[in-house]
Amino acid sequence: MDKLIIEGGHNLKGEIKINGSKNSALPILVATLLCEDEFVIENVPLLRDIFTIKKVLEVLGVSVTIEGNTVKVDTRGAVGYEAPYELVKQMRASYYVLGPLLTRLGRALVSLPGGCAIGTRPINLHIQGLKKLGADISITHGYIDAYGNKLKGTEIFLEGPNGSSVGATINVMTAATLASGCTTIEGAAMEPEVEDVANFLIKCGAKIKGHGTRRIEIKGVKKLHGCEYKVIPDRIEAGTFALGAAISRGEVFLKGASASHLEAFINKLKNASADIFLEKDGFTVKMDKDIRSTDIETAPFPGFPTDMQAQFTALLCLSTGVSVVRETIFEDRFMHVSELTRMGADIRKEKDYVIIKGVPCLYGTRVMASDLRASAALVLAGLSASGTTEISRIYHIDRGYENIEKRLSGLGAHIWRQEE
């Protein structure tokens, strides 16, 4: 098992290319199961999760070839209907196979998912939506067992107690593309990743409109076909590197990043005194002033993304005032707090929020990552800390950031990977 070593105190400066979105690439790769054809998916990040979904597809009988950041998928021929626990437990996004398998085969047997330990993330909305399309679904022995030979379009409300669900919206939308009649999803997730999957499906011949709004309309078609498609840039990766520039008092151009996908985040970064310069092919983040305190509340898009909460918390540890960060999506997404406290942060947790009193500096020490975004928060803290930081259990970060140590080194960070 590897760990990351960071010698803090070095400003990040230069340019970094933002990779394709993991949260788009995963469901897009799975959606190729909807038909028998060949696909070329470009701008796919080379992440642990991508290789996991590759194994899932291969177990189902699909041919998957990775050449650089391009993935070639051949779904022709027979495919299986079971996604086993051994693979699905590694990554929650494996459940995306549920909708496509059900649509193509009329049967899907998918293990209940794993992933980051950031709280209860029920899949009831996925099941509810697919049942509305006519599927017969039960949960037995840790598996979702679904039948549905003739899915039929209908009206479906998909909003849960914590807002809209990206995963459920994508799963139901993909299944509805080949259902008879029209399907209307009310309370749909508006995230850019949902739009991206919809645009991919449209290129395959699906009839979808309203994606990117609360109401998505899908008119079922009889058949889809293969295509070439380029995945959008990863807004969470862009936000993480933007915070790297800010917390290290540096200046970084995020090449390829889409500012329109990060408006709420950028506004909060400006509140924290960062300068943001929008450019033709990305944006620049510069921090040469004291970090100001600001309050954050996570929310579904277009609100402040929950996947940026941990990283922004690391920045606010060094602010000049007191900040409150409220988490409204996942109840256990503050596990980075105890590790930041070990580095000298002054944070107090109260139910679904934390109160952060800024300190002059953080100190390097040994810390342990608990999940993907908490890992990124510890890396950011390490970049600014006095002394050396060692981060263990970094297999989490490899799920969402490609070669993070090499890319940060290219910006001037003193960071390297080492076997424990």
Catalytic residues: 116
In whole angstroms, give the CA distance from residue 116 to residue 395: 11
Amino acid (1-letter code) at residue 183 = T
In whole angstroms, give the CA distance from residue 392 to residue 5: 9
In whole angstroms, give the CA distance from residue 50 to residue 25: 8
CB 315 within 8 A of CB 291: yes
Amino acid (1-letter code) at residue 209 = K
CB 312 within 8 A of CB 246: no
Pick from 167, 196, 164, 257: nearest CA to 28: 196
Measure CA of the first residue to CA of the last residue in the chain; give whole Å: 6
Between the alpha carbon of residue 326 and those of residues 169, 249, 280, the distances in Å are 25, 25, 33
In whole angstroms, give the CA distance from residue 215 to residue 218: 10
Token pair belonging to 138: 């039960």
CB 92 within 8 A of CB 109: no
CB 156 within 8 A of CB 201: no
Residue 313, judged by CB atoms within 10 A of its CB (0-12, 13-18, 19+), counts as buried
